[in-house]
A and B are shown apart, each in its own frame.
Chain A
Amino acid sequence: MAKSPDQEHPRKAFGWAARDKSGLLSPFHFSRRENGDEDVTIKILFCGVCHSDLHTAKNEWGFTNYPVVPGHEMVGTVMKVGSHVKKFKVGERVGVGVIVGSCKKCESCQQDLENYCPQTIFTYNSYYTDGTKTYGGYSDMIVVDERYVLRFPDNLPSEGGAPLLCAGITVYSPMKYYGMTEPGKHLGVAGLGGLGHVAVKMGKAFGLKVTVISSSPKKEAEAIERLGADSFLVTSEPAKMKAALGTMDFIIDTVSAVHPLFPLLGLLKLNGKLVTVGLPDKPLELPIFPLVLGRKLVGGSDIGGMKETQEMLDFCAKHGITADVEVIRMDYITTAMERLAKSDVRYRFVIDVANSLPQ
């Protein structure tokens, strides 16, 4: 008979979990493994609320195994290191993102692309190498193999830095891979939420001209005056969309709802690239003529490997890039999820775990 979550492992742990597809979170006692030779034990200070947490809590992708403790944007302090651990010491500030394991042997792992390993182990709702379920960062502590722990640069604040561990790498990786780092080129960012606002900041840091593409005009002042975007395009304004046809070298599409690709493809120049990082639950409609007549492409990207995630954190520290956050207490999470579903947040909730999750 399967052990209960709080008896599965030797170290007591406490967090908030969703137990069914209502997605409602509530206090949950569970346990973490003993700190192995290659492990780092981390006291969690902050954890970002990613839209994936909401999708998973409500089983919108259809593969949730309840109970699930979400959270894959966590920052904390090292409490213990295993005997083989070289990169970290007790007291250091570290981060854990979307992945806590991979096979370490395949071609992807060997190329520092653990995110494309066929046996990636996700920080929550996955099964670890010992067969037990993984629980995420809406909790007091976590034990992670050092390979999947990130060093947090000194000048990167914890609250604003935590969302970089998923939102940040999710846009940074395709910007590098698809060549969106050449100064002077024109980047469109579709959707201005957790991912989109970080993409704007990174785009500006890469020296790009950045246009935000949104379905609603109300974010325009914010995008231009506060985030530094060069312009703002509302998809429902035909004259402006027409004037912008064929002007962009790339578009990062962060929108997670199903939406038409045709207008976005039209905004691209010849050889333009539309990279989708949002995860709608139904397929998108792909018109072929724009791809063929303009040699354009639609590509995907999925977070990033550990090496690149560290590179991204260092890049953000250097350029002063953090997420815009609303810090909340753990018991606000239900309201936060409701607001997140309506995109009512600028632009990421971050749970102050250390100060609001009773031990």
Chain B
Amino acid sequence: MAISPENEHPVKAFGWAARDSSGHLSPFKFSRRATGEKDVNFKILYCGICHSDLHSAKNEWGITSYPIVPGHEIVGVVTEVGSKVTKFKVGDKVGVGCLVGSCHSCANCKDDLENYCPKMILTYGAKYYDGTTTYGGYSDIMVSDEYFVIKIPDNLPLDGGAPLLCAGITVYSPLKYYGLDKTGMHLGVVGLGGLGHMAVKFAKAMGLKVTVISTSPNKKKEAMEHLGADGFLISRNTEEIQSAMGTMDGIIDTVSAVHALLPLIGLLKTNGKLVIVGAPEKPHELPAMPLLMGRKIVGGSCIGGIKETQEMIDFAAKHNIVADIEVIPMDYVNTAMERLLKADVKYRFVIDIANSLKPF
């Protein structure tokens, strides 16, 4: 007979979980493992709400096992370290993102690409090495192998820094991999949400010209005055799109719904790159001729490895880049999810765990 989540491990933990595909979250008692020799135990202060949390809570990808405690943009303060931990000490500000484990022996792990390891272990909803379920950051404490813990520099605010651990790395990694990080290049960003607004900030810090492509005209002022975008195109305005044809070196597409790729491919210069980081459940339609006639590519990217995540955090700290957030108490989370579904947030909810997650 399976052990209940509360009794699975020796350390009591408390969080909020979804129990079925309604996705409705409610208080949940569970437990964390004792701090192993390579583990870091930290008190969670903040956790960002990623759209993936919503997809998972509602089982939209079809792979959720309930109950599920979401949250993979987790920041806090170290309270205990194992005897073999070298990189962290009690009191350090740290974070954990989407991964808490990988095989460490495959070619991808050896290339610091744990995010592409076939045996990677996700922060929530996955099976850890010991066979138990992983629970995420909508909770009071976290225990993680030091390898997967990120050091948060002192000057990076914890609340605005939390979303970097997923949204930030998800756009930073492809900007580097696809070579869209050179001063003077022109980058398009499709979708101005959690990922999109981070892409604008990173690209501006790298010296690129940035054009936001969006379905919502009411985001224009914000994009240009507050986020620093150089241009803004309404995707349904065919004249605006026409006038920008063949002007972009790359486009980061953060939109998770199915949408037309043809106009985006048209916006690219010859050799241009359309990089998809949003993950719709259905395929897109890909017209081959426009791809051929400009030697263009459509590529994907999935978060980033641990080394690159640390590099991204350090870059963000250096350039004072944080997410634009709305801090909420834990019990607002269901309303937040409803608003997130309607993209009614500028641009990430962050749960103030330390001040609002109370055990019942």
Contact = CB atoms under 8 A, between A and B. Distances in A.
Interface of A: 107-108, 113, 116, 118, 174, 177, 261-262, 270, 276-280, 283-302
22 contacts: A116-B293, A118-B246, A276-B288, A277-B292, A278-B288, A279-B289, A284-B285, A284-B286, A285-B283, A286-B283, A286-B284, A288-B283, A288-B300, A289-B279, A292-B279, A292-B302, A293-B302, A295-B116, A296-B300, A298-B291, A302-B292, A302-B295
B251 to A, nearest CB: 13
Nearest to B299: A297
B288 A279 contact: yes
A203 B184 CA distance: 36
B302 A295 contact: yes
Given A270-B108, A286-B261, A300-B293, A295 B299 contact: yes
Contact of A288 (B270, B280, B296, B297): B280
B299 A291 contact: yes
B108 A301 contact: no
Among B108, B262, B279, B286, chain A packs the most CB atoms within 10 A around the CB of B286
Please list the 5 inter-chain residue pairs (A to B) with the smallest Cβ-Cβ separation, ordered nearest first: A291-B300, A300-B291, A297-B299, A300-B292, A292-B300
A63 B273 CA distance: 27
Interface of B: 107-108, 113, 116, 177, 246, 261-262, 270, 273, 276-280, 283-302
A299 B285 contact: no
Contact of B297 (A118, A261, A284, A299): A299
Nearest to A275: B297
Nearest to B107: A270
B294 A300 contact: yes
Given A108-B270, A270-B113, A286 B286 contact: yes
Classify the secondary structure of A's interface with B: mixed
Contacts of A276: 288, 291-292
A297 B297 contact: yes
Contacts of B302: 292-293, 295
A275 to B, nearest CB: 9
Given A177-B295, A300-B291, A301-B295, A285 B276 contact: no
A302 B270 CA distance: 11
B300 A283 contact: no
B122 to A, nearest CB: 12
Contacts of A286: 261, 283-286, 298
Contact of B296 (A289, A291, A294, A300): A300
Among A277, A299, A300, A301, chain B packs the most CB atoms within 10 A around the CB of A300
B295 A292 contact: no
B116 A294 contact: yes
Given A270-B113, A292-B277, A297-B299, A287 B292 contact: no
Nearest to A286: B286
Contacts of B294: 116, 300, 302
Nearest to A287: B283
Contacts of B290: 300
B288 A292 contact: no
Given A288-B280, A291-B300, A292-B302, A113 B292 contact: no
Among B261, B262, B291, B292, chain A packs the most CB atoms within 10 A around the CB of B292
B276 A298 contact: no
Contacts of B300: 288, 290-297
A296 B319 CA distance: 30
A298 B292 contact: no
A253 B302 CA distance: 24
B116 A116 contact: no
Given A298-B297, A299-B297, A283 B116 contact: no
B286 A285 contact: yes
Contacts of B270: 107-108, 113, 116
A279 B261 contact: no
A107 B276 CA distance: 27
B283 A291 contact: no
Contacts of B279: 288-289, 292
Among A118, A177, A262, A298, chain B packs the most CB atoms within 10 A around the CB of A298
A298 B116 CA distance: 18
Contacts of A287: 283
Among A279, A295, A298, chain B packs the most CB atoms within 10 A around the CB of A295
A173 B2 CA distance: 59
Nearest to A293: B302
A50 B102 CA distance: 49
A280 to B, nearest CB: 6
Contacts of A299: 291, 295-298
